[in-house]
Structure 1
C-alpha cells in the first residue's frame, strides 16, 4: 500500500483538501492558527514600525502571507509575513526612494522570485555557504538591535548605521535623565524579562505565546501608569494601502531601484528557503518543494507590491510556533491570515495602546536570536576559516550595507573554498643519481607557485621522475608549467620522466 504525498497531488486536489481537510485535523489546525496569529500580530506591527512605514502595511503583508501564500503549493508548515531580517533593507529603500516606490521594488522582487522558481533555481539557494548566511543574519541582528535601542530610549531612530553609533552618548543621556527614557527602558526591560520567564512557565500555560503575554502585560502597565512614552499609530487598513503610482512606475528601470529589487529578491528568497530547511527538520509532514515555494513567495510579494505593502519571507518564529502548536495541514497558516484580517477590521484601536518601546524590546530579542552567538563561538573553535567568513560578512554589513556585506562574504567564501579544494602535496625522494617527485591532491593555478618552487629546487644533473598519477585534478596552468619545466631540464641533458594523471593530455 502506498501513500500519496501532498506534494505529489494535483493542484485541484490540494485546493479541495483545504476546504475538506482530512478527518481529525480541523480542530488542531484551528487551535494552531490562533497561536500563530497571536505570535504574528505584534511582529507584523513591530517590523513595520522598525522599517519606517505605517504599521498597517505590516499587517497587510501578514494577511497576504497567510491567505495567498498559504493556499499555494510549496510548503505545508511554513508561515510567511514581514520579517525582522528585512527591516534594514526596507528602511534603506524607503529612505532612498520614498514610500511610493516601495511597492514597485517589492513587486519587482516578487516577479524575480517567480522567475527564479520557474527556472528551477530554488534548490541552488541551499548551496550558499552556511557561514555567509549566519554572518548575514548576525549583521542584520546587530543593525536591528542598534536601531531599536533608540525607540526604547525615547528618541527617533537615526537613518544610517554611522549615526546610530555616534548617537549612543546622546541616547544614554536621554534614557537616564528623562521621564520618557526611563519609562521606555523600564517597559522594555519588563517585556524582555517576561518573555524570558515565560519559557519556564508550565507547559499548559506556554500554549499562549510568550511574546503576546509580554507585550500585553507591558502595554497594560504603560496604560495604567500613564507612562510618557510614544505609542504606535494605527489608522485605517484601506487608507494605508498604497498601490504604485504612475510616477513610481517610471522609476522601475532606474539602476538604484533595480539594485534594490535584486537585493530584496535574493535576501527574501534565501531567508525563506533556509527557513524551509530548518522547519522541515521539525515535522514529519510533506517536505518543502523549493522551486514551488519560491514561486509562492514571489506570488505573495507581487501581491504585496501591488498593495504597496512590506516584502515578505517565510518566518522561522511563526513557522516553528505553527509546528509546535500541532498544525497538520495548510489550513492553520491560511486561517492565521484570516484572523489578522478580522482583527484589524473589528479591533484596530487596540493596536494604538502598544508603546514603541515595547515593540522595540520585541525586535531587540528578535535581533539577538539572529546573532546566534552560541553557534558563532562553536564555529570559531571548530573552523577558523568559516568563522572568518562569518565575522567578515557581519562586519561588512554593519559597516556598509546588507548587499555589499553579503556579496563580500560570498566572494570570500568562494575564494576560501577554491583554496581548500586546491590542496596539493609534494614530496621528493633523493637517490644517488635520481630524484623522484610525487604529487597528490588537486594541482590548480592557486598552487602553481608552490609547485614551481619545489621543481626548481630539484638538484641539477640528476635524472628526475615526476609521478603525478595520484593527482585528482590537474588544470591547464599546472599541466603546462610541468611540461615547460621538463622541457627545460631535458635541454640541460637531464633525463626527465613525467607520469601524468589518467585522462590528462
Structure 2
C-alpha cells in the first residue's frame, strides 16, 4: 500500500478528465465515461491478468461508439457493449489471446493514428463552438466554415487548455528536483489543464456549454434495450467492439509487461481477456462505455510506482467516490475544455515516432493505408484494408528473390548469386539473368535460398543441362540447405524445421542444447570445458576452410579498418560487418572510449593502437561502434554510484564525462524525446569519441587532408541492426540494403 495508494491517486487524476472527454466525443452520456472508468478499475483490475494495466474508456473505441450511438441509440449501444463482453469471455476461455497479437503492429498503430485524426477534426468543431458531424470527411469539409464562424470564448478556453497541457511538463522541469518540482511532477498535466481552464471560465462569467450529469448515477440508470436493425450489422458491431477492445488491451498488456518492475509477475493474456470481457459485460449493464486497457493510464501507473493490482482497483474506487459526491463540481467543466484535451490526445495518437520506426522496417505503407482507410471509410473498413495490404506485403516478402550476376575481371568465369525464396514466381527473373551468360562460359551458381519449389528446380536444372551441352561448365554451391542436391539425388526426406542446424555464430549454450540435450540433474559444464569444446569444433569444421587464408596472412597483416568498440560480449565485430581474418584491426575497451589528447587521467592503450594502425599498418578508416544497453553508459547515467567499489573502472569511466556533458546539454536543448535516455547517451557517446580522436593534432591533420576517414556505427542489440552516423543531420540512420553505386546486374 505504501506504493499502490499514491499511485492510485495519480491514475485517478489522469482518468477523470480523459473519461469525461471520451464520453463527450463518443456522443454518449457523460456519466457513461465515469461508469466505464469505475468498472474498468475495479472489475478488470480484480479479474485481469496484467496486474499493473489500467482499464477504462479508450480513445481508440471512440469512432465505433459514436457510430453505434448515432445508428442504434445509447441504450442499444450498451447492449452491444454487453454482448461484446460476453464474446471476449468466450475468447478468453478459448485461450486465443496470443492469436490477436498476430495482427501487424503497423495496422494497430495505423488504426490508432486514424482514430486520432478523426478525434482531432471532430473535437476542433467543439473547441470552435460548433458541433461535430458523423463522419471525418464531413468534419474536414465543414472545418473552414466553422473557423469563419467560430465563437471566441470556447476558442480561448480551448487554447488555454492546450497551452497548459503542453507547458506543464516544461514547468515541472524548470521547478527542478526540490519539493516544488516533486509535487508538480506528481500532478498529471490533464488535471491542471481542466481545472485552471474551468476556473478561468467561471471567474470570467462566460456562458459556454458545460458537462451535464444526471442527478445520480443510480437514478439516472436505464436498462439496455435490444438494437433494431439487420442482424448481420448488429453482429458485426458486436464483433468490432470485442475485437478492437481485445487487441488494444492485449497490446497494452504486452507493453506494460515489458516495463514491469522486478517482483511483479508476468501478464497472463488469456486471463486478461477474461477480465476485459467481464468488465465490458458489467459496463454494458450499468450504462457505461466499452472498456479496454489504456496505455496512458497504465504508463502513469507504472511511473507512479505501483506494484500490484491494488493501485488499479483503488483508482476505480476514487472515481466512484467522486462521481457520487462531486457531481456539481464536474458539471462546471466546459465541453470545449474537454474537447481541447482530446485534441491533444488525438495528436499524440498520430505521433510520428512510430511511423519512423515502421518506415525503417518497410511497413509505412500498411500504416498509411490503415490510417487513410479509417479516416475516409470508417474504422472496420480501414482495419480490414490495412490487414489486406499487410498480407500482400508479407506474401511479397516471403517470395522475395535477389539475383546478381557479374563477370570476373579476366573474363574467365561468371558468378551468379541467388538469395531469398526461389519459387515459380521468381523463375522468369532468374532465367532472364541466366540467359545473359554467353554459351560455353564457366559459371559459379550460388543458391542461398531458404526454399526451392519443383518449378524452380526444374528451370535451374534444365538451364544447367542446356548450358553444359553447349560446352559450358556450371558449379552449383548451396549455402544453406541443399534443395537442389536433394532434388537431383531423389532425396525426399523433409528438413526438420523444429531443430535447425547449429550455426558457427550461435552462442555455446545454444549449440550444446541442440547437439547434446542435457538431463535436469546433469552436472554443470565448466567454462574451460566449453572453451576447449569450441576449439575442437573449430578444428573440425572451420580450420580446414580458413587454413589457406591464414597461411597467406601468417607473416603479414593488411587490415582495412581500425575498429574501436566495447568489450560487451554481445558485440561481435566480425559478425556485424561480415568480415573475416585480417579485415579488422580491433581495439575493445569498456564503453568504446577514446581518451582525449592530454587527458588528466592518462591512458595510452587506445592511442597506441591508433598510432600503430595508421603509421605502421597504413589504415585509412577508423570506426567507432557503440551499442544499445551499454553498461558503461548506464553507469555514467547513474553518476557512477554502482561502480564506486571498482576503482580501476571508475577511473576509466572519467573518459566518458565529455559524453555525459554533451548528453545533458542536448537534453536541455531538445526537451522531450521519443527514445530512452540510455539509447541517446549510447549514440551521443559514439559522436563524442569521434571528436575525441580529432583532439590528436597529427590525426586531425590526416582527416583534414582527406587521408583518413572517421565512421560512427551503432548496434541495436534487440533488432540486431546496425546504424551509421549521418554527419549532416547528426543522427544514426539504418545502413541501406544496397550500396548506391552497386553495379551488379540484377
Alignment TM-score, normalising by the size of structure 2: 0.58
Contact 2:82 2:282 in 1 (8 A): yes
Rounded to whole Å, the distance in 1 between the matches of 2:122 and 2:24 is 11
Give the Å deviation of 1:479. 4.4
SS at match of 1:473: strand
Is 1:478 equivalent to 2:478 in the alignment? no
Aligned to 2:565: none
Aligned to 2:198: 219
SS at match of 1:204: helix
Q: Which runs of 5+ in 2 are unaligned?
A: 173-180, 477-481, 493-746
Contact 2:404 2:417 in 1 (8 A): yes
Aligned length: 468
Whose RCO is larger (CA < 8 A, sep 6+)? 1
Rounded to whole Å, the distance in 2 between the matches of 1:109 and 1:457 is 61
Contact 1:103 1:242 in 2 (8 A): no
SS at match of 2:182: coil
Rounded to whole Å, the distance in 1 between the matches of 2:281 and 2:454 is 47
How large is the RMSD of aligned CA atoms in angstroms?
3.0
The verdict on how the C-alpha distance between 1:428 and 1:195 changes in structure 2, with shifts beyond 3 A counting, is: closer
Contact 1:242 1:309 in 2 (8 A): no
Aligned to 1:324: 303
Give the Å deviation of 1:503. 5.3
The verdict on how the C-alpha distance between 1:227 and 1:387 changes in structure 2, with shifts beyond 3 A counting, is: same
SS at match of 2:451: strand
Rounded to whole Å, the distance in 1 between the matches of 2:7 and 2:459 is 65
Q: How is 1:334-483 mapped onto 2 (pairs within 5 angstroms)?
A: 334-377=313-356, 379-380=358-359, 382-383=360-361, 385-427=362-404, 439-455=418-434, 470-479=448-457
Aligned to 1:205: 184
The verdict on how the C-alpha distance between 1:453 and 1:112 changes in structure 2, with shifts beyond 3 A counting, is: farther
Contact 2:35 2:287 in 1 (8 A): no
Is 1:88 equivalent to 2:63 in the alignment? yes
Rounded to whole Å, the distance in 2 between the matches of 1:282 and 1:500 is 43
Q: Deviations over 1:369-428 (max 9, x none)?
A: 101123424654x34x32222222211211111122122222222222322232323355
Moved more, 337-346 or 79-88: 337-346
Contact 1:57 1:241 in 2 (8 A): no
Is 1:34 equivalent to 2:9 in the alignment? yes
Aligned to 2:598: none
The verdict on how the C-alpha distance between 1:487 and 1:142 changes in structure 2, with shifts beyond 3 A counting, is: same
Contact 1:106 1:261 in 2 (8 A): yes
Give the Å deviation of 1:495. 9.8
Q: Deviations over 1:11-65 (max 9, x none)?
A: xxxxxxxxxxxxxxx2322222122112111111111110001011111111110
Aligned to 1:333: 312
Q: How is 1:16-415 mapped onto 2 (pairs within 5 angstroms)?
A: 26-175=1-150, 181-199=151-169, 200-201=171-172, 202-235=181-214, 236-245=216-225, 247-248=226-227, 254-284=231-261, 285-377=264-356, 379-380=358-359, 382-383=360-361, 385-415=362-392
Give the Å deviation of 1:106. 1.5
Rounded to whole Å, the distance in 1 between the matches of 2:39 and 2:395 is 42
The verdict on how the C-alpha distance between 1:27 and 1:166 changes in structure 2, with shifts beyond 3 A counting, is: same
Higher share of residues assigned helix = 1
SS at match of 1:472: strand
Alignment TM-score, normalising by the size of structure 1: 0.84
Rounded to whole Å, the distance in 1 between the matches of 2:429 and 2:236 is 41
The verdict on how the C-alpha distance between 1:224 and 1:142 changes in structure 2, with shifts beyond 3 A counting, is: same
Rounded to whole Å, the distance in 1 between the matches of 2:423 and 2:239 is 33
Rounded to whole Å, the distance in 2 between the matches of 1:166 and 1:194 is 29
The verdict on how the C-alpha distance between 1:430 and 1:184 changes in structure 2, with shifts beyond 3 A counting, is: closer
SS at match of 1:127: coil
Q: Deviations over 1:137-170 (max 9, x none)?
A: 1111111001100111111111111210111122
Rounded to whole Å, the distance in 2 between the matches of 1:399 and 1:434 is 56
Aligned to 1:10: none
Rounded to whole Å, the distance in 1 between the matches of 2:50 and 2:454 is 45
Q: Which runs of 5+ in 1 are unaligned?
A: 1-25, 176-180
SS at match of 1:167: helix
SS at match of 1:154: coil
The verdict on how the C-alpha distance between 1:466 and 1:477 changes in structure 2, with shifts beyond 3 A counting, is: farther
Give the Å deviation of 1:325. 1.7
The verdict on how the C-alpha distance between 1:306 and 1:456 changes in structure 2, with shifts beyond 3 A counting, is: farther
The verdict on how the C-alpha distance between 1:186 and 1:496 changes in structure 2, with shifts beyond 3 A counting, is: same
Is 1:501 equivalent to 2:484 in the alignment? yes
Aligned to 2:529: none
Give the Å deviation of 1:104. 2.8
The verdict on how the C-alpha distance between 1:337 and 1:477 changes in structure 2, with shifts beyond 3 A counting, is: farther
The verdict on how the C-alpha distance between 1:120 and 1:456 changes in structure 2, with shifts beyond 3 A counting, is: farther
Moved more, 394-403 or 113-122: 113-122
Contact 2:137 2:375 in 1 (8 A): no
SS at match of 2:208: coil
